[in-house]
Amino acid sequence: MPRAAVRAVPSFAGLYTRLQDLRFDDRFVRELPADPREDRGRRQVLGACHSAVTPTPVAAPRLLAYSEPLAAELGLAPALLHDPAFVAVLAGNAVLPGMRPFAACYGGHQFGNWAGQLGDGRAIGLGELVTPAGARVELQLKGAGPTPYSRAGDGRAVLRSSLREFACSEAMHHLGVPTTRALSLVTTGENVVRDMLYDGNPRAEPGAIVCRTAPSFLRFGNYEIFTSRGETDTLARLLEHTVRHHFPALLPTGSVADAQTWAAWFAEVCERTAAMVVHWMRVGFVHGVMNTDNMSVLGLTIDYGPYGWIDDFDLDWTPNTTDAATRRYRFGQQGQVAAWNLARLARAIAPLLPDTGALEQGLSRYVQRYGELQRRSLADKLGLHALVGDDDDPHGDVALVDELFATLSQTPTDMTIFFRRLGALATASFDASSWLSAVQHAWYDDPVDPAARARMLAWLRRWHERCARDGDEPARRRARMDAANPKYVLRNYLAQEAIDAATAGDLSPLSTLMTVLQHPYDEQPEHERLAAKRPEWARTRVGCSMLSCSS
């Protein structure tokens, strides 16, 4: 089976070419309290930030795909990725000098309820790779075997979910969305039994492991767990470590952390979270399971599980079958859920501050920043310099956006195609027939109800008149819109096609898809098929419209 490599970066000068040259640091393990036990027995881990755990070897590791752009950023030459000895590391069959594998201890609120201890149940950190440029990036294997936090799980992952995480991590990065990354996708040569929809129909599937990367995988739940147990000393040590290494501007060398430091850190987390979620909304991404244990304190998209991409525009859509009843994590509520999660983080660090006033200011800053960034994002998507007018102004730009959302919801309309087509109209003279024809490519219903067509035409005319008042040159407007509105996203059915092909031994669809998704804002006419609407077969298919935390 050939390897599916993402398009190469032109030059690899100065990169690591030999395994023995790689340098790793273990500062998370070295600086923070450790679990005294070193076995994999499932247990409550008290007073510790991590547990030592070695990945469980697999039978027949095979590299299926890797990201050459990320490898180059990490200082890893292509030959190193093809080295069987390094593939063994990526599969959890070998540990290099300097690595001290561990699983992190954390808790979390899941679907609004405190779930107690959770922790890395199938993820094992290898340590921080020190790149040739001196940067530090944590490598983490997802699906590398059981840990003390696995509860009833086996610590493994299947090819289906692993490919989805590998592909989406890299796709989001190239879209400009803050995210963890994925270096490699390795199959294990072993089967894993999963009940995909938790409906009593388990089956064996090919096992796989993803090597994820990030400056840190610390999440809100890492801090919540210690407050829930009254372990404020451990909380303070973890927070000091976090700020010193990942927010160094807040704690200059030689200074001592205090309540003001913690408040400034929380405000920074609020701002980063706002930016992340606004990007999700811009590109039509739905995380699907925004529990506090899935929220990065670095403002990175983390834990790609039952995520989905909006096809027909629907603010109430969620891809997660577990969330089908309440739709807590639906597309249009992601900003509010992030605020709720931040409030849980504020409660977690509150014991370290004399009062909650500064934390309340941080939450207010989130609301303000989210609103500012969302207005900026929507203005860019519509080709406007800025959204003008108050929220309650019936003739202002917020009303223009609200009417657009209502119009898109009236008949199933593909979000990605609509906004991309709208950008093309930015350089065209208004003509009712041709403009409706352009928008028609985004409609899933044909013919569309006459009332819906009339409403869309009225909105297009209103948008055209608003653009004219902006006074911008049409070409500049279109360029601004095309930079905000991707043509290519990891549509659910495209991911499923790649999964089906990879399972059958064909990696060419994954390779092509990953190459195209490196340039999501470019036209790439030779790959027009990958920008097409969701086909009818995918409308209700499991893996396309319905997913679970096993996905």
Strand, helix or coil for residue 95: coil
Does the structure show a pLDDT above 80 at 199? no
Point out the catalytic residue in the list 293, 397, 414, 482. Answer: 293
Task: At 147, list the tokens.
Answer: 């840990």
Query: Phi and psi (nearest 5°) for 443?
Result: -85, 140
Task: At 84, list the tokens.
Answer: 């069987």
What is the tens place of the pLDDT at every residue in 203-220? 999 999 999 999 999 999
- For the segment 420-431, the average pLDDT, to the nearest whole number, is 95
What is the tens place of the pLDDT at every residue in 349-358? 999 999 999 9
Task: Label residue 10 by pLDDT band (50, 70, 90).
Answer: very low
Residue 128 contacts residue 245 (beta carbons within 8 Å): no
**What is the torsional sign of CA 249, 251, 255, 261?**
positive
Spatial CA neighbour of 241 closest among 216, 221, 220:
216
Spatial CA neighbour of 64 closest among 248, 207, 271:
207
6's enclosing H/E stretch is none
Residue 338 contacts residue 277 (beta carbons within 8 Å): yes
Taking the domains of the chain in order of start, what are their residue ranges?
Answer: 4-218, 397-471
266's enclosing H/E stretch is helix 259-283
Task: Label residue 2 by pLDDT band (50, 70, 90).
Answer: very low
Residue 289 contacts residue 515 (beta carbons within 8 Å): no
**Averaged confidence pLDDT in the chain:** 94
Does the structure show a pLDDT above 50 at 8? no
Residue 177 contacts residue 276 (beta carbons within 8 Å): yes
Does the structure show a pLDDT above 90 at 446? no
443's enclosing H/E stretch is none
Q: Is residue 21 flagged as an active site residue?
A: no
Task: At 81, list the tokens.
Answer: 């990725």
Task: Label residue 547 by pLDDT band (50, 70, 90).
Answer: confident
Cα–Cα distance list, 299 to 27, 180, 494 (Å): 21, 10, 27
Beta bridge partners of 443: 413
Measured in whole angstroms, how far is the alpha carbon of residue 531 from the centre of its chain?
A: 21
Spatial CA neighbour of 496 closest among 229, 161, 199:
161
Angstrom distance (rounded) from CA 397 to CA 296: 33
Does the structure show a pLDDT above 50 at 4? no
